Structure 1
Amino acid sequence: MPAVFALRQQKRMAMFVIGFSLLAFYCHAQTVHAILVADTKDPLLYKACKRDVEIMHRQFVQLAAAIRYQLSEQVIWDEEFSRKRFDDVLRDLSPEPNDILFLYYTGHGYNASQRTGRFPVLLLEKDEQASEQNPGLMVVHQALKAKHARLCITMGDCCNNLVNNMRGMVKKTIAPKALTLTDELMNEAYRTLFLNMKGDALIASSQPPQQACAHPDSGSFYTRSFDEALELASRYNKNISWLTLLRDAQTRLTRHQATRAKQSIYEINVVGIAPTETALVTTPAPDVSKSDSSGRISTSLSFDQMNRHLNELTDKTLSSQQRLTAMSRLTGFFSKNARIDIYVNSTLGDVQPIETFVRRLYLNADRIQQINLIERLSEVAADGLHYKRAAIQEVW
């Protein structure tokens, strides 16, 4: 009996060691490789770039926790901000096939009249004699894709105009006041975007020949818009995709006077649980709408389009005709007797018919800072094309 018992114990120990080794292997293999590149030495941008790093670091931490991956984060900033250090970090990256690569750049960028590429060049070396060493964002993305991670995201928040015009500093943005839902609900968006997808996405904050904008306290405007879109989608949205996310980030970018005409560009090539979202996009897709027999505008439900029309309706810089058009488009998302649960900041304040609610938005535009559809708390009508009840947050 002692010999049999000892043999069983040895087998159990062997299985434990094998299981532990496999667990360690998979934990090691599943990693978010985050590379943060920030020009914190620049006298104009250093505060904004530091704020950008804080924002994106928080997103990387939330991402890794949500999908239960390890986070391997490298920051290239201060005295390390150079082309040499940049190349060293990229060369040494060795992701496993199921890993995620996410490179984020904040700093100066530019384009040149002789270039044909729409994506910017990263100003890593400012000496004119070394300017030829500066890499294009597209070239960087191609190098990262060659690492063969499951998902590769490259994002640059920088100017995309001629080199003699540099990034502008403008008015501070206002942080959204999001409702608090459970962590598990919030994790769904991260899992959909990062865990259940494979492929790549290349993102730039501006198209040529545009400047990017930043504020020393709130950071770069596009980074903040991307952060808001991802944060609010994780709390409010039931159906998220990379296309929806980046469209909503663009909507949030154009909410501000300084960035109203700014246009981000992106190329998305991802497949996964939502293969219909696979796309190559460089401009926002137009609304596709039609009139039904009652004359109402009918459209397929879209989180990003809804948010765009909601915020257009409260934008006092738009003409009355533009806002009335937004009102017409907005009502087309709702059934005739739809009811709206109105949250003022984080408190449910009132329930109103859709017509009353839309007029409320129009009249209170100068006081409402931001509008957000809470899709998770909304109910779609039987036709699948309209909301019969919707929860909408007004940020005052």
Structure 2
Amino acid sequence: MKKIAAIIILLFTSLILPAQTFHSVIYANTNDKKIGKYAKRDIELVKQLCDSLSANLSYNLNLIVKDGNSFKVESVKEIVDSLNVEEKDIVFFYIVSHGSANSKSEFPRVSLFNDKGRIVKISSYELYETLCHNFAHAAAIISITQACNSGRAFEPQPFQSVLKSIKIPLNSFRSDYSRLFANKIRIISCSSQPGKTSYTGPKGSYFTRAFCSTLDLYSNNSPLLKDWENVFVEVQKEYDKIQYAHKFKTKNLRKAVYKIQRL
């Protein structure tokens, strides 16, 4: 009888223990006349990637999408302040918008709107630093910006806390994805080096396509993708292929910028 009671208690506690959460926040400037319709494709690609990653890792997915009229700088602070992030959770921010060079960082300023409908440019690096500060206990923080990194390098306004369809088989190669998140990791990346624009099209932004399709390779147990450094090496190779397909010359290739820190 005692053994049965112990089993029941064990089953009950396993049911009420909270699972880890993959917090995915996607910002996309879908109202923009130039990139809006393409940004919608980026949302689809990144959402599908996050669905697959969270399922393969056995994480609950907390998906937040801010597009259209909700693509506002005020909501960034609201989200950062409201996310309930536990120790083993993953925080993933992906922003698709216009951008420009930043005089204080190799990572660009990003354009969002405020409540009055005016453009506000924030530093993608300061946003990343805010995420790292607010969620220092998180297992992983990944902040990615798909935006231009060109033009005159103005100082950003201060930010205060403020090609391929991806079909990854669920619950397959889980150990591979787990290897990427085996240690505490902090990653920031953007789609082009300082002084360069970024490109998009009907299939989605070139960098977004490269990033998502590379993680798709990872699901297929590619030996090339053993850690995040290798992931970004392969992302750049895929990024180059897409650019070559659009008649880019080697000297004009956009290069993704990234920084990886293990804690």
**In which range does the TM-score fall when normalised by the shorter chain?**
0.7 to 0.9
**Offset at residue 130 of structure 1 (A):** 5.4
Partner of 2:70: 80
Deviations 1:230-272 (A, max 9, x none): 111321413521001111111111122355510110001136x
Aligned with residue 43 of structure 1, among 30, 33, 40: 33
* Residue 125 of structure 2 is aligned to residue 135 of structure 1: no
Pick closer, same or farther for the CA change 1:71–1:86 going to 2, 3 Å: same
Distance in 2 separating the partners of 1:86 and 1:177 = 27
* Residue 18 of structure 2 is aligned to residue 26 of structure 1: yes
Distance in 1 separating the partners of 2:117 and 2:84 = 32
Is 242-251 or 226-235 further displaced after alignment?
226-235
Partner of 1:98: 88
AA of the residue aligned to 1:16: I
Aligned with residue 186 of structure 2, among 185, 196, 200: 200
Aligned with residue 151 of structure 2, among 162, 165, 185: 162
1:161 match: secondary structure: coil
Q: TM-score, normalised by structure 2?
A: 0.83
**Offset at residue 19 of structure 1 (A):** 4.4
1:156 match: secondary structure: strand
Task: Please give the residue correspondences for 1:1-396 in structure 2 after superposition, counting only pairs within 5 Å.
Answer: 8=2, 12=5, 16-17=8-9, 19-27=11-19, 30-112=20-102, 115-125=103-113, 133-146=120-133, 147-148=135-136, 149-162=138-151, 174-175=163-164, 185-194=172-181, 196-215=182-201, 217-238=202-223, 239-255=225-241, 256-257=243-244, 258=246, 260=250, 261-270=253-262
**Offset at residue 198 of structure 1 (A):** 1.4
Distance in 1 separating the partners of 2:13 and 2:124 = 39
Structure 2 gap ranges (5+): 154-162
Distance in 1 separating the partners of 2:116 and 2:17 = 47
Distance in 2 separating the partners of 1:185 and 1:219 = 26
Distance in 1 separating the partners of 2:42 and 2:165 = 16
Partner of 1:358: none
Distance in 1 separating the partners of 2:227 and 2:46 = 19
Pick closer, same or farther for the CA change 1:144–1:41 going to 2, 3 Å: same
Pick closer, same or farther for the CA change 1:184–1:33 going to 2, 3 Å: closer
Distance in 1 separating the partners of 2:126 and 2:165 = 34
* Contact 1:188 1:234 (8 Å CA) reproduced: no
Distance in 1 separating the partners of 2:60 and 2:107 = 30
Q: Which runs of 4+ in 1 moved over 6 A?
A: 126-129
**Offset at residue 163 of structure 1 (A):** 6.6
* Contact 1:111 1:208 (8 Å CA) reproduced: yes
Distance in 1 separating the partners of 2:83 and 2:164 = 34
Report the structure number with the largest CA radius of gyration.
Answer: 1
Q: TM-score, normalised by structure 1?
A: 0.56
Distance in 2 separating the partners of 1:45 and 1:35 = 19
Same amino acid, percent of matched pairs: 23
Distance in 1 separating the partners of 2:60 and 2:145 = 24
* Contact 2:166 2:212 (8 Å CA) reproduced: no
